[in-house]
Amino acid sequence: MKKNLTHLQQLEAESIHIIREVVAEFDNPVMLYSIGKDSAVMLHLARKAFYPAPPPFPLLHVDTTWKFRDMIEFRGRMAQESGMELLVHVNEDGVKKGVSPFTHGSALYTDVMKTEGLKQALDKYKFDAAFGGARRDEEKSRAKERIFSFRSANHRWDPKNQRPELWSLYNTRVKPGESIRVFPLSNWTELDIWQYIHLEEIPIVPLYYAAVRPVVERDGMLIMVDDDRLELKPGEQVEYKSVRFRTLGCYPLTGAVESEADTLPEIIQEMLLTRTSERQGRLIDHDQAGSMEKKKQEGYF
Amino acid sequence: MAHQSELIEKDILAYLKSQEEKSLLRFITCGSVDDGKSTLIGRLLWDSKMVFEDQLAALEADSKKVGTQGGAIDYALLLDGLQAEREQGITIDVAYRFFSTDRRKFIVADTPGHEQYTRNMVTGASTAKVAVILVDARKGLLTQTRRHSFLVSLVGIKHIVLAINKMDLIGYDQEKFNAIEADYREFAAPLGFTSITALPISALNGDNIIEKSSETPWYQGPPLLNFLETVQVEDDRDEQPFRLPVQWVNRPNLDFRGFCGTVASGTVRPGDEIRVASSGQTSKVARIVTFNGDLEEAVAGQAITLTLEDEIDISRGDMLTRPEAPPLYTRHPEAHLVWMHDEPLQPGQLYLVKTATGVTPGRVTAVQYAVDVNTLEQKQVTTLGLNEIGLARIELDRPVSFDPYGANRDTGSFILIDRFTNATVAAGMVLNAPDESQRAHLSAGESNPWAPRLITLDAVAATNLNLVDLTEEKGLFILDLAQSIHDYLGKGNRILIRLRDLSQLEPVAQLAYDNELAFEFDRNGDGVSILLFKRGTTPLKGYGDDGTGI
């Protein structure tokens, strides 16, 4: 009897193939682990690719020092469970200069703590391939990015000079100093990710589930008061609301949504019935038109 | 994103269950800037409710600012991702779009129609199962319609949707529609498509995209989305012989040795006998190991890990197959090449050939002919430039497992990579592996059974061939060098001579002595290879470190 693979089985197989190809062809790969739901799926796929062995590469988290506390705890737990080495890199220059989302604005803060931090870490460990959890459906400039996306020695992406990518034959050749960003989830959509988490029972950070949390309303977004570094502006007031997060990043830049969805099916239900895309909760995409494309050319993930 | 809004609201678990059985269809859209291709895809995304409110707000603003629909919503703007493209008003690269219905998830490869972007179309088509070819109803078939159809047939797409767009501009005229369809069927007959489905549409107005249009009562078929949801493209990959290119050997400890890869065709079960293509060794499958427990069967498309009953030598680059149906195992595949780089093909130069089983150095020894993508006529050429397509002979440094591309897209395809720039310069599709004896490029003298045969090496430089195969020579022979080859070697080029065994070495040594040439000697699996060259000349780019192991 003919057995056709479902769409999730096909996506899974494609991702595992990509992850194995990187390990077979690169000397020093790393998996960028952002602790979010896409990273959770990517890590799960890596574990499947090499089972019964642990994935033969480390996890790297570029820590801006402003991540939610729940994320940091979850990060340690998953590294332990997967048996993988966890590397955490902080841009110490940025910390010394006191760069924070409050004092320097989201654009400069992201550039220093995320983009610069990432480049420092890649240079420090001399990784020649870095897995990222980005998806093509997230943002228009990503729709044209390759699965194996070449970066120059100074980490730049050149959208006009990408290598053609055919079949599942990936060009993995780099010269010393150059690297490739690899996106195993390129062809997944947000719905695919959630369905797969549901089907495979993949653990995710509790912040995705609704709970009563302290928040303030700022610039039209609900910002969670995750620690005492969040200084209240005049007129702002901490309220306790049942909220959850559709996407996770730095807590001062990540908007919560009011929600009662505290199970996975309810989250998916809410997502399916909603009318706004997930990146809306991120301040950095709103800065300017084509902002993601500019950031990517400069080396942002 | 209202799929089955009611079910989602009332019973999310039932909804999720129903979504688990969805299939996946990858298709490509082909058309020129003016055919309304971006508008069509924008419309599919829009009407299948994949556009969110915040994206809509951005789209409305953009439509006013840079739209081409006089301030009305310009669906094409949903697609044009990169700023440079927006400013030029054209799509310049392959982009992938996603939408889904309750029956299928779709991945659309959106590629431009300009001639200089043949490479993008081939790239987008390489993973697609269906091609939607757009035709402007006012213009009928254009040169590019033919070009697109040829390219998608070359890349192995079997199902064509002929979307005859802008029907609103010809008053939904059935006769004109029928005439275009008939034209197309006649033109496409030799291309070997399994199905051609013509649809009268208007991407701008939404006619026959999601719903059947009231403007075309004469059209009996389904609207486009419904067709895409139901078209049967599942190939017979499962019925074909088992193929597993070994991608990685998983060896966490001495007790476990797993062979990882994606099943390219066929099925496999524990107990099945398998054969290693390179060594011919056989064994039986012990387990199919996965994170979620062992499998009883794996099918084409699955990424799996096998363990075997015997300890046999297998590494990345090998292919595991059914013993009774081995693949081609050859150093000399003949293949269609699509050249994708500004710098033309250099016959004889070493490239890296990446196949399903890994990377092998190799060279193009001859371009038999190129195909004019507009007329489909063959023309004699010695090389290929950007966006040119030809039939080429390849020589690999060591044998590689292949299937003909027509039988298996995964094991019949390869890419060529420039060793210096690391650019992907060509895409290749294997036709077959011709008999070795056809490959000697010699001009023989009068044959006399009692005297050694005189073989003159000539025409090598003229045709860019640099391989001389003497393994089929039965009797004695002596070699002579034509002046053109003398000059060719004088420029730092090298010629590879293949011998059956050592008894054939003397005439080669004599040739080298007479012409003050040097040679390198290498014994390999099927005989002896001699690399003939002139000392003191600097090899051309590409030969400095050609890694042939000779």
Whether B23 sits inside 8 A of A7 (CB atoms) is yes
Q: Which residue did the predictor score with more confidence, B142 or B2?
A: B142
Is the pLDDT score of B464 beyond 70?
Answer: no
Name every residue whose Cβ is closer than 8 Å to that of residue A43 and which is 6 or more positions away in sequence. Answer: A31, A33, A55, A59, A78, A82
The predicted structure's pLDDT at residue A275: 59
pLDDT-wise least confident of A160-174, A278-292, B421-435 = A278-292
- pLDDT per residue as tens digits for the range A89-115: 999 999 999 998 888 888 899 889 999
| B189: CATH | 3.40.50.300
Q: What gap in Å lies between CA B124 and CA B121, rounded to an integer?
A: 5
pLDDT band at residue A262 under the 50/70/90 scheme: very high
- pLDDT per residue as tens digits for the range B56-93: 666 677 676 666 666 666 776 666 554 445 555 444 57
Q: Are residues B19 and B148 in the same domain?
A: yes
Kindly state whether residue B548 falls inside one of the protein's structural domains. Answer: no
Q: Are residues A22 and A160 in the same domain?
A: yes
Q: Are residues B220 and B283 in the same domain?
A: no
Is the pLDDT score of A25 beyond 90?
Answer: yes
CA distance A249 to chain B (A): 20
Q: Are residues A24 and A147 in the same domain?
A: yes
The predicted structure's pLDDT at residue B418: 96
B206 CB neighbour count, 10 Å cutoff: 17
Whether A144 sits inside 8 A of B22 (CB atoms) is no
Q: Which residue did the predictor score with more confidence, B427 or B525?
A: B427
Q: Are residues A153 and A245 in the same domain?
A: no
The predicted structure's pLDDT at residue B283: 97
Q: Which among A258-272, B30-44, B467-481 has the top mean pLDDT?
A: A258-272
Q: Are residues B101 and B167 in the same domain?
A: yes
Q: Are residues B46 and B85 in the same domain?
A: yes
- pLDDT per residue as tens digits for the range B477-498: 888 887 777 877 877 777 888 8
What percentage of chain B reaches a pLDDT higher than 90? 47
Is the pLDDT score of A129 beyond 90?
Answer: yes
| Per-residue b or e along B82-110, where b marks 16 or more CB atoms closer than 10 Å to that residue's CB | beebbeeebbbbbbbbbbbbeebbbbbbb
Kindly state whether residue A199 falls inside one of the protein's structural domains. Answer: no
Q: Are residues B176 and B292 in the same domain?
A: no
CA atoms within 13 A on the CB side of B240: 21
pLDDT-wise least confident of A70-79, A134-143, A258-267, B20-29 = A134-143
Kindly state whether residue A2 falls inside one of the protein's structural domains. Answer: no
Of B20, B52, B82, the CB nearest to A275: B52
pLDDT band at residue B51 under the 50/70/90 scheme: low
A contacts of B9 (beta carbons < 8 Å): 269, 273
Is the pLDDT score of B422 beyond 70?
Answer: yes
Whether B8 sits inside 8 A of A272 (CB atoms) is yes
The predicted structure's pLDDT at residue A274: 74
A contacts of B16 (beta carbons < 8 Å): 195, 198, 265, 268
- The three-state DSSP-derived secondary structure of B317-386 is CEEEECCCCCCEEECCCEEEEEECCCCCCCCCCEEEEEECCEEEEEEEEEEEEEECCCCCCEECCCCCCC
**In which element (H, E) is residue B428 found?**
strand B424-432
Kindly state whether residue B218 falls inside one of the protein's structural domains. Answer: yes
The predicted structure's pLDDT at residue B31: 82
**Contacts with A, B 139-158, CB within 8 Å:** none
Whether B84 sits inside 8 A of A160 (CB atoms) is yes
Whether B354 sits inside 8 A of A174 (CB atoms) is no
A contacts of B100 (beta carbons < 8 Å): 7, 189, 191
Q: Which residue did the predictor score with more confidence, B67 or B186?
A: B186
Section A240-248 average pLDDT: 94
Section A176-200 average pLDDT: 94
Kindly state whether residue B247 falls inside one of the protein's structural domains. Answer: yes
Among B270, B286, B321, where does a domain finish? B321
Whether B356 sits inside 8 A of A169 (CB atoms) is yes
Q: Are residues A186 and A45 in the same domain?
A: yes
The predicted structure's pLDDT at residue A135: 93
Q: Are residues B351 and B398 in the same domain?
A: yes
| A135: CATH | 3.40.50.620
Q: Which residue did the predictor score with more confidence, B47 or A263?
A: A263
Q: Are residues B256 and B374 in the same domain?
A: no
Mean pLDDT, all residues of chain B: 83
pLDDT-wise least confident of A283-297, B40-54, B507-521 = A283-297
The predicted structure's pLDDT at residue B149: 92
Q: Are residues B224 and B251 in the same domain?
A: no
The predicted structure's pLDDT at residue B491: 73
Kindly state whether residue A1 falls inside one of the protein's structural domains. Answer: no
Kindly state whether residue B223 falls inside one of the protein's structural domains. Answer: yes
Pairing of strands B256-262, B248-253: antiparallel
pLDDT-wise least confident of A227-236, B212-221, B239-248 = A227-236
- What number of C-beta contacts closer than 8 Å exist between A and B? 200
- pLDDT per residue as tens digits for the range B271-315: 999 999 989 999 999 999 999 999 999 999 999 999 999 999 999
Whether B53 sits inside 8 A of A275 (CB atoms) is yes
Q: Are residues A56 and A131 in the same domain?
A: yes
**In which element (H, E) is residue A197 found?**
helix A190-200
Q: Are residues A294 and A276 in the same domain?
A: no
- Go through chain A and tell me how many residues it has: 301
Kindly state whether residue B280 falls inside one of the protein's structural domains. Answer: yes
**In which element (H, E) is residue B30 found?**
strand B23-30
Is the pLDDT score of B441 beyond 50?
Answer: no
Is the pLDDT score of B536 beyond 50?
Answer: yes
B contacts of A167 (beta carbons < 8 Å): 126-127, 409-410, 413
Is the pLDDT score of A288 beyond 50?
Answer: no
The predicted structure's pLDDT at residue A180: 96
- pLDDT per residue as tens digits for the range B393-412: 999 999 999 999 999 999 99
Of B5, B93, B250, the CB nearest to A53: B250
Kindly state whether residue A200 falls inside one of the protein's structural domains. Answer: no
Q: Which residue did the predictor score with more confidence, B452 or A138?
A: A138
pLDDT band at residue B439 under the 50/70/90 scheme: very low
| Closest residue of chain A to B298, computed from CA coordinates | A3
B contacts of A21 (beta carbons < 8 Å): 247
Nearest Cα residue to B363 out of B388, B331, B339, B389: B331
Q: Are residues B360 and B509 in the same domain?
A: no
Q: Are residues B39 and B85 in the same domain?
A: yes
Whether B340 sits inside 8 A of A164 (CB atoms) is yes
Q: Are residues B73 and B192 in the same domain?
A: yes
Whether B8 sits inside 8 A of A199 (CB atoms) is no
Kindly state whether residue B545 falls inside one of the protein's structural domains. Answer: no
ipTM value for the complex: 0.89
Q: Are residues A95 and A169 in the same domain?
A: yes
Q: Which residue did the predictor score with more confidence, B455 or A141?
A: B455
CA distance A85 to chain B (A): 16
pLDDT-wise least confident of A228-237, B144-153, B383-392, B458-467 = B458-467
The predicted structure's pLDDT at residue B72: 66
Burial of A206 (0-12, 13-18, 19+ CB in 10 A): middle
CA distance A81 to chain B (A): 14
Q: Are residues A167 and A229 in the same domain?
A: no
- What total number of domains does chain B contain? 4
Among B434, B451, B471, where does a domain finish? B434
pLDDT band at residue A281 under the 50/70/90 scheme: low
Whether B104 sits inside 8 A of A144 (CB atoms) is no
Of B1, B53, B301, the CB nearest to A5: B301
Kindly state whether residue A198 falls inside one of the protein's structural domains. Answer: no
A contacts of B238 (beta carbons < 8 Å): 2-3
Q: Are residues B396 and B455 in the same domain?
A: no
Is the pLDDT score of B159 beyond 80?
Answer: yes
List the domain range (segments joined by +) for residue B311: 243-321
pLDDT band at residue B544 under the 50/70/90 scheme: very low
CA distance B2 to chain A (A): 7
Please, which contacts does B16-20 make with residues 24 or more away whose CB atoms are closer than 8 Å?
B16/A195, B16/A198, B16/A265, B16/A268, B18/B102, B19/A195, B19/B102, B20/A6, B20/A8, B20/A195, B20/A199
Is the pLDDT score of B526 beyond 80?
Answer: no
The predicted structure's pLDDT at residue B231: 92
Kindly state whether residue A136 falls inside one of the protein's structural domains. Answer: yes
Burial of A145 (0-12, 13-18, 19+ CB in 10 A): buried
Whether B16 sits inside 8 A of A162 (CB atoms) is no
Q: Are residues A46 and A130 in the same domain?
A: yes
Is the pLDDT score of B505 beyond 90?
Answer: no
Whether B96 sits inside 8 A of A191 (CB atoms) is no
Of B96, B414, B417, the CB nearest to A173: B417
The predicted structure's pLDDT at residue B110: 84
Is the pLDDT score of B249 beyond 80?
Answer: yes
Q: Which residue did the predictor score with more confidence, B443 or B183?
A: B183
**Contacts with B, A 60-89, CB within 8 Å:** none
List the domain range (segments joined by +) for residue A279: 205-284
Q: Are residues A169 and A49 in the same domain?
A: yes
The predicted structure's pLDDT at residue A292: 55
Q: Are residues A164 and A258 in the same domain?
A: no
Section A185-212 average pLDDT: 95
Is the pLDDT score of A74 beyond 70?
Answer: yes
pLDDT band at residue B33 under the 50/70/90 scheme: low
Whether A6 sits inside 8 A of B94 (CB atoms) is no
- What total number of domains does chain A contain? 2
Q: What gap in Å lies between CA A132 and CA A153, rounded to an integer?
A: 18
Give the global pTM: 0.82
| B370: CATH | 2.40.30.10
**Contacts with A, B 35-64, CB within 8 Å:** 52-55
The predicted structure's pLDDT at residue B515: 85
pLDDT-wise least confident of A239-243, A284-288, B263-267 = A284-288
The predicted structure's pLDDT at residue B545: 36
CA distance B45 to chain A (A): 11
B116 CB neighbour count, 10 Å cutoff: 10
B contacts of A136 (beta carbons < 8 Å): 96, 98
B480 in contact with chain A, both atoms CB, cutoff 8 A: no
pLDDT band at residue B226 under the 50/70/90 scheme: very high
What percentage of chain A reaches a pLDDT higher than 70? 89
Of B84, B126, B256, the CB nearest to A167: B126
Kindly state whether residue B70 falls inside one of the protein's structural domains. Answer: yes
Q: Are residues A27 and A175 in the same domain?
A: yes
Whether A174 sits inside 8 A of B422 (CB atoms) is yes
- pLDDT per residue as tens digits for the range B313-331: 999 999 999 999 999 999 9
| Per-residue b or e along A229-252, where b marks 16 or more CB atoms closer than 10 Å to that residue's CB | ebeeeeeeeeeebebbbbbbbbbb
| Per-residue b or e along B462-484, where b marks 16 or more CB atoms closer than 10 Å to that residue's CB | eebbbbbbbbebeeebbbbbbee
Of A189, A266, A274, the CB nearest to B98: A189
B233 in contact with chain A, both atoms CB, cutoff 8 A: no
